[in-house]
Amino acid sequence: MKHICLLAVLCLITSVLYAQNPAGPTRFTLQGRAVDTLAAPLAESTVMLLSAKDSSLVNFTRASSNGSFAFKNIKSGNYVLKISFVGFIPYNEVIKPATDAVMDLGDLKMKPITRELFEVVVRTAKAPLTIRGDTIEYNASSFKVPPGSTVEDLLKKLPGVQVDQDGNIRAQGQEVKKVTVDGKSFFGNDPKLATKNLQAMAVSKVQVYNDKTEQAKLTGVEDGKKEKTVNLELKEEFKKGGFGKVTAGGGPASNGLSARAEIKGNYNKFDAKKQFSVIGLGNNTNQQGLSFNDYQDFRGSNSFNWNDNADFGFSSGRFLSFGDNDETLGIPIAGGNGQGFSNNAAGGANYNYDTKKTKLSTSYYYNQTRLELNSLQNTRTFLTNGSFRTADTSNQVNFNGNHRVNIRLEKQLDSMNTVVFINNSRLNNGNASISNFQNLYRTDGASLAEALSTRNSTNNISTSRQFGSANSLIYRLKFKKKGRSFAASATYQINTNDGNLNLRAMNQFFQVTSANDQIRLIRQDQATNSLRNEYKASLLYVEPFAKKFYWETFYNFDLRFDEVDRAVLNLADTGPVRNDSLSRYYKNNYTINRLGSSIRYSFKGLNLSAGLAGQYFTLNGEYAPEKQSTNYQFIDRSYTTLIPNVSLNYDLKNNKYLYGGYDKNVRIPSSRDLQPIINNTNPLYINKGNPNLLPEFQHNVNLGFYYFNPGSFINLGLNVNSSYYVNQIVYSRDIDPTTLVTTTTPENITGGKNLDSYFNFGFPLKKTKANLNLNSQLNFGQNLTNINRILNQTNNQNYTFGTRLDLTPTEWLTFYANASIGRTNTSYSINQSQNQTLINNNFSGDLTLKLPGTIYLNSSLNYRINKNDKFNFDQRIPIWNASVYHILGKAQKAEVRLSAFDLLNRNVQITQYAGQNYVQESSVQTLARYFMLSFTYNMRGVTASMRRNNNF
């Protein structure tokens, strides 16, 4: 009953409303004429009809040449008519529902935008100008003021605004009564307070408009008076901020180990131009370096830089390398658990300053590690007749501390010229004490019966102090002609190493007949000081000589000075005596001149290049037992080599890529390998240089194919690599049949070759829930070595097949599994009876569960099998880790975690390797079961990593 009443009332109201407007048509025509203030027509002006509700565009038309326009047959309703014409303030008029079939608005007068405003703001400054009735909006960034300027300085730059000496502001000729910040009054109503105190940097927009007077606002009664008001809109501060995190954890002593602890933290502060970060870590849980993520947080915008290689070469980028040039000047990035037991500490600071023209990055980083390694090693070495086994027990403690400084400055001189300066330096302090106990057993061919032949015990203490610094200056020039470019670079590198070794060894030879030869004691102090200075320069010129074709030419110059002073003192009872056969002083000068040229074709994804370089290399050296010696001997050698290069990159249709190439690597003999110096640090394994050594050439052919279907997520990759060696530098082995002392000498051998292949196929079993990946690696190698002056050929055939399963069925459960089985067949031409098969299999699984109440559970198991049936070697090691963690608080910024590492207490590092004429198994005692309770606070919130992110 009630409802019917209500309905009746409603009906009544509607009919009354309808009755009030009986003649209102449902469709009508809207017309008018766009004119300027002098009634001249604005021909072709744009006329738009917008919905009054949300300004959405309903219809539009163009005015005719006399400015007239008409919208025909439009639905009755509320509209906004908008007319725009270049140089005029857009015209807006509200259209109420029509009463007649034709609504003629007559002449609609449009006001021109102030000439000054239009030309300066819109055309010259390219700033968006907002015109809402009387409001004009200036984009502050379009008006340049020096750093530190106040808003007053900024206002002085704005067209249509004047600021007098006292700071009074006038806009469009009227005095500004009020300045607001983000629409709010700033320190009362004195406009000067805001403009004199506020930094121009903080302002994003300046709006000038007519506001109602305070009186009108208060009473709500329009008094018709308007006050000129300036509103300052502040910049969003999203580009400024800081983030950081800290993790601390500890675990009780157990399992024969002392208590475990780790702490790690970093903090970053940044704004639009600057990034500053600090990082620190300390632990006794074998975490040595920064993780990849830590490194990126630390270096920020300078984590990765392209084109920093000062040694220009073929576009594929390979450059000659020296045999022992292994300076590690960059910040080390290390992942998981190392072997042995290590105590680690590291810390550093990084500062980046980036503007469009200048990019500066500087960092200092210190890290130190004390590593304790206790290892057992079994090596079987094959001779032409029989073999022998070396059982080695070694205990060592190493300490290594590194200071690193990295500086990079990139300066864009103008749009065509860029200069980059890079300095990477490292100062290293290290010491090590090693005690080693070796038994060598001669094995009788068939019966495998062993007889103790030689025993060695060594105690070495060594210290070293190294300094390395590399400084490069790269200049790049672009030309007006697209594709033409020039680059020049200069590099200076210095490396020094001062090392001391106290060698104490006792060797017992049980098979020798003469009593005099049975025991040999070595007590030596060895001091080695080396200095290397290297000067390099490179030039590169690229000329586009036809459409799609480029001609590249490069030149490299390299001058290197090596100086080594090695003094060996025999410690006799009467005092130290210089050992002239082991002491040596030498100087080497190397020069390399390389000139290369290549032709490159590039079109629609087919990039093909072919080139040739010629390299001229000289080595001048002098050496003597000591620096003051008059009896110097000389090395004087030069080599000329041609280096061809081919490279292909082909972007085929439908996400298929083909790539490949041929290149030739040249390896220059290292100075150590060239000098006939005997190194007896290990008295049973002696190294000797070879002054007749030639450079090594490695010919490489590489071919690959990759396919990815982003629709079905199927991916496929295939890669084949093969190399062939000419004059390969191989260490020949001469084994004394009686003492079993091995002497190695570098020699040139031609004929070594490798063929490596990799295949990968991945596809979803069920989209987003299960992925399967199959892969295989097939590697074949043929290595040649002289063993006791007989050429031995070792053939390795390695077959590895793997599969990976990713299961991500729900948000609360993820499971990742891996399996790989590997088999290596090795054969030795000098001793076929020693042919053998190594088996390396690995299975792992990783499960994460999300439990109610932001509690997470993770458990992983890794099972490793290493087998060699020939020697009954069979190691099966399961490593089980588990952790449970809880994310705390509403803001989720903290996490507490209980972790257990190696629950089964089985951890030991096992390696198996089949070399030129030996097979080696080694096991290193490594941090096994321990427990840890840790706490993390992350300013940006802790997120549980349930699912591995595929990429950003």
Partner 1 sequence: MCMKKLFILFGLLLSIAANAQNTEGVVNFTRKEYWSRIINRMTYLSQEEKDRSAQIRKNWEEDNKGEKMKLSFNENESMYTYGSEQGETDDGQYSWRHDEYKLYRNFEKDQKIDIIQMLGKTYIVEDSLHTPTWKIGDQIKEVAGYICMKAETEDPIKKQKITAWFAQDIPVSAGPERYNGLPGVILELSLNDGDVIIEATKVTLRKLTPDDLKMPKLKGKKINDAMYDSIIQQRIAESMTAHQNPFWSLRY
From residue 337, alpha-carbon distances to 340, 348, 402, 843 in Å are 9, 22, 20, 18
- Count other C-beta atoms under 10 Å from residue 369's C-beta: 21
Q: Which two tokens stand for residue 319?
A: 């450059």
Task: State the Cα torsion 49-53-55-59 to the nearest 10°.
Answer: -30
Q: Which of 52, 131, 473, 703 binds partner 1 (CB under 8 A)?
A: 131
Q: Which of 78, 197, 307, 712 binds partner 1 (CB under 8 A)?
A: 712
CB 111 within 8 A of CB 34: no
Please state the φ and ψ torsions of residue 56, each to the nearest 5 degrees. -75, 145
Report d(CA 80, CA 49) in Å as an integer: 6
Report the residue number, 42 or 208, with the smaller CB distance to partner 1: 42
Neighbouring-strand partners of residue 487: 476, 540
Please state the φ and ψ torsions of residue 193, each to the nearest 5 degrees. -60, -45
Q: Which of 105, 129, 612, 849 binds partner 1 (CB under 8 A)?
A: 129
* 197 contacts partner 1 (rule: CB under 8 A): no
User: 539-568: which residues touch partner 1 (CB under 8 A)?
Assistant: 542, 544, 550
Report d(CA 427, CA 421) in Å as an integer: 20
Q: Which of 293, 307, 518, 633 binds partner 1 (CB under 8 A)?
A: 293
Report the residue number, 2 or 126, with the smaller CB distance to partner 1: 126
Candidates 129-137, 166-174, 439-447, 639-647; binding stretch for partner 1 (CB under 8 A): 129-137
User: 795-854: which residues touch partner 1 (CB under 8 A)?
Assistant: 808
* 123 contacts partner 1 (rule: CB under 8 A): yes
Least CB distance to partner 1 at residue 156 (A)? 18
State the binding string over 60-99 for partner 1 (x if CB under 8 A, else -). Answer: x-x-------------------x-xxxx--x-x-------
First CA to last CA distance, the chain:
64
| Beta-carbon contacts of residue 350 (< 8 Å; ≥ 6 apart) | 275, 276, 277, 278, 279, 298, 299, 300, 302, 361, 362, 363, 364
User: 296-325: which residues touch partner 1 (CB under 8 A)?
Assistant: 296-297, 300-304
User: 37-66: which residues touch partner 1 (CB under 8 A)?
Assistant: 42-44, 46, 48, 50, 54-57, 60, 62
Report the residue number, 280 or 941, with the smaller CB distance to partner 1: 941
Report helix, strand or coil for 4: helix
State the binding string over 234-263 for partner 1 (x if CB under 8 A, else -). Answer: ---------x-x------------------
CB 856 within 8 A of CB 884: yes
Least CB distance to partner 1 at residue 483 (A)? 4
Residue tagged 């706490």 (tokens)? 935
Candidates 493-501, 854-862, 879-887, 944-952; binding stretch for partner 1 (CB under 8 A): 944-952
Least CB distance to partner 1 at residue 157 (A)? 17
Query: If we measure between CA atoms, which residue out of 227, 159, 160, 165 comes closest to residue 196?
Result: 165
* 480 contacts partner 1 (rule: CB under 8 A): no
Q: Which of 69, 71, 118, 828 binds partner 1 (CB under 8 A)?
A: 118
Q: Which of 22, 106, 711, 853 binds partner 1 (CB under 8 A)?
A: 711
User: 348-367: which residues touch partner 1 (CB under 8 A)?
Assistant: 354, 356, 359
Report the residue number, 44 or 214, with the smaller CB distance to partner 1: 44
Size of the site for partner 1 (CB under 8 A): 86
Report helix, strand or coil for 516: helix
Report d(CA 567, CA 941) in Å as an integer: 58
Cα radius of gyration (the chain): 40
User: 630-669: which residues touch partner 1 (CB under 8 A)?
Assistant: 649, 651-655
Annotate 626-635 with b (16+ C-beta within 10 A) or e (fewer).
Answer: eeeeeeeeeb
Considering all CA atoms of the chain, what is the largest pairwise distance in Å, rounded to the nearest integer?
135
Report d(CA 31, CA 81) in Å as an integer: 10
Least CB distance to partner 1 at residue 214 (A)? 26
Q: Which of 400, 466, 602, 825 binds partner 1 (CB under 8 A)?
A: 602
Report the residue number, 34 or 592, with the smaller CB distance to partner 1: 34
Report the residue number, 585 or 885, with the smaller CB distance to partner 1: 885
Report d(CA 156, CA 738) in Å as an integer: 96
Strand ranges in 309-449 using DSSP code E only, listed in sequence order:
321-322, 341-354, 358-382, 387-412, 417-443
The enclosing H or E element of 896 equals strand 894-901
Candidates 117-125, 144-152, 612-620, 840-848; binding stretch for partner 1 (CB under 8 A): 117-125
Q: Which of 225, 240, 766, 947 binds partner 1 (CB under 8 A)?
A: 947
Report the residue number, 184 or 482, with the smaller CB distance to partner 1: 482
CB 686 within 8 A of CB 741: yes
- Count other C-beta atoms under 10 Å from residue 140's C-beta: 23
Candidates 100-108, 708-716, 780-788, 831-839; binding stretch for partner 1 (CB under 8 A): 708-716
β-strand pairing of 714-726 with 753-766? antiparallel
* 233 contacts partner 1 (rule: CB under 8 A): no
State the binding string over 734-773 for partner 1 (x if CB under 8 A, else -). Answer: ---------------------------------xx-----
Report d(CA 620, CA 561) in Å as an integer: 10
- Length of the chain measured in residues: 952
Least CB distance to partner 1 at residue 272 (A)? 9
Report helix, strand or coil for 448: coil
User: 389-418: which residues touch partner 1 (CB under 8 A)?
Assistant: none
Q: Which of 482, 515, 574, 575 binds partner 1 (CB under 8 A)?
A: 482
User: 912-941: which residues touch partner 1 (CB under 8 A)?
Assistant: 938, 940-941
Q: Which of 18, 187, 561, 603 binds partner 1 (CB under 8 A)?
A: 603
Least CB distance to partner 1 at residue 283 (A)? 21
Residue tagged 């690193």 (tokens)? 404
Q: Which of 205, 478, 664, 667 binds partner 1 (CB under 8 A)?
A: 478
